[in-house]
Structure 1
C-alpha cells in the first residue's frame, strides 16, 4: 500500500463516501452473523464471486479504521489492462495482484498473499477465481486451501453473498437496485490436510448459501 498521505486520504474518502453510498444506501445489505467478521488481521474473508461489487461490498462491512489492512486479491490479467486502471486498483482499491497460471511454471502465486498475512492484513479472496452466474456456486480453485495450510493460525472466514450478481451482473455496467444479503460463517483453519480443509470449506459455504432459502433468520 502507498505511504503517500494524499493517496491514503483519497482511498479513505472513496470508501467512506462513494462505496458506502452505493453499497449501503443505494443497494442496502442485510448481514447475518456480522459478529463473525474479523476484528483485526491477519484474516481471510473467502466469499463466492458473482459481481464486480463483491470485494467492495465485503470491504464496506469492515470498520473504516481497518481500511489500511484490507487487501482484495485479484488477477493481474483482468485489472491491469491499462496504467490508469492499474494505478486505481493498486492505490485506491488496494488489491494484491496474482498472476493466474503461475503455479504451472513452478512459481508460488500466493507469496504476496502470505506476506500480507504476515504483516497482519485482511485478505478479501474469491476461491472460485472468476465471476460465475448469479447465486450459483462455482468450482473452487486450489488457492484457498494452499493458503490456509501455509498459514494455519490465520482464520479463514467463509462468506456467502446473495443478490450482488443481479445488482451488477457479469458483463454489465448498469447498477440495478436489488435486495442483497451477506451470510458470514464460522472461521476455519488449515491445521489439518489440504483435502480436509477444502471439504470443510465447501461444506460450510454451501450451508451458508442454503440459509437464503429459509425465512427463519435470527
Structure 2
C-alpha cells in the first residue's frame, strides 16, 4: 500500500498539479530559483491560499517528492476519513496539533524529527492563511525550529498572486499570474531575536522586489 500511495502521489503532481501551475496559473520568477535538491531542508513562505502548498511542491523535482512534507494543522486536514487519507498520502502533510490541544505532543519536535530523518518540510511562518496578498506578523515557531535544527538550511520564498487565484474562504478558482521570489538559504545563528529579525528582513526585501503594475 505504501508504494501504491507513493505512485499515486507522483502521478497526481506530475500529471495534474505541475501542468496546472505551469499552464493555468502561470508562474513568473522574479529571480533565479533557489531550491533544495535534497533533504533535510526547510522551505518557508508567506501564506494566502491553499494553492500555496501545491505551488511550492510543484517547484521541486519529482525525484525528491517522497521527501517533501508540508506542515499542516491536524484539526483542519484530518476532519474526515477521505480528507485524512488524501492529505496524508497524496499531499504528504506532516499533521501537527495547533492551539495546544494535545499537551503531550510538541509540534517543534515533530518537525525536528522529520528534518532529522532527511525530510524537506514546507513551513508557513505566519501560521494560518491571511488576507489576500497581505503578510501578517511571523510567529516564533520557525525560529524555535531553526534553533532546534541549526544545520538545516532554510529557503525563504515569497509568492504574490495566489491570494487572488484562490483566497481564504473562497472555493472559486480564478486563473491569475503568480510572482515568485527566492532568497539565499540561511541557517540559525546568534540568537532567537536576531534570527527572527533576519527572517522578517528577508521577507520584506522579497516583497519589495516584486514588480507590480500600479493598479495592483
Task: Classify the TM-score, shorter chain.
Answer: over 0.9
> Which residue of 2 is the match for residue 101 of structure 1?
99
Q: SS state of the match for residue 157, structure 1?
A: strand
Q: Specify the alignment match of 2:125 in structure 1.
A: 127
How far apart are 1:6 and its partner, in Å? 1.1
What is the RMSD of the two structures over their aligned residues, measured on CA atoms?
A: 1.7
Structure 2: where are the runs of 5+ without partners? none
Question: Residue 89 of structure 2 corresponds to which residue in structure 1?
Answer: 91
150 and 119 in structure 1: CA distance in 2 versus 1, 3 angstrom threshold: same
Which of residues 180, 199, 202 is equivalent to 2:200?
202
Aligned residues: 213
Q: Is the 8 A contact 1:72 1:123 kept in 2?
A: yes
TM-score (norm 1): 0.93
**Per-residue deviation, residues 20-51 of structure 1 (Å, max 9, x unmatched):** 12211111111234442112111111000000
In the TM superposition, what is the alpha-carbon distance from 1:8 to its structure 2 partner?
A: 1.1
- Spell out, residue by residue over 1:120-144, the C-alpha distance to the aligned partner (whole angstroms, 9 max, x if none): 1110110111100111111111110
Which residue of 1 is the match for residue 55 of structure 2? 57
Distance 1:172 1:214, change over 3 A: closer
Matches within 5 A, 1:1-218: 4-102=2-100, 105=103, 107-213=105-211
1: distance between equivalents of 2:197 and 2:3?
A: 43
User: Hey, what's the Cα distance between the residues in 2 that align with 1:119 and 1:105?
Assistant: 24
Runs in 1 of length 4+ with deviation above 3 angstroms? 32-35, 103-107
- For residues 144-194 of structure 1, what are the alpha-carbon distances to aligned partners after superposition, in whole Å with 9 as ceiling and x for unaligned? 000000001011111100000000111111110111111011111112211
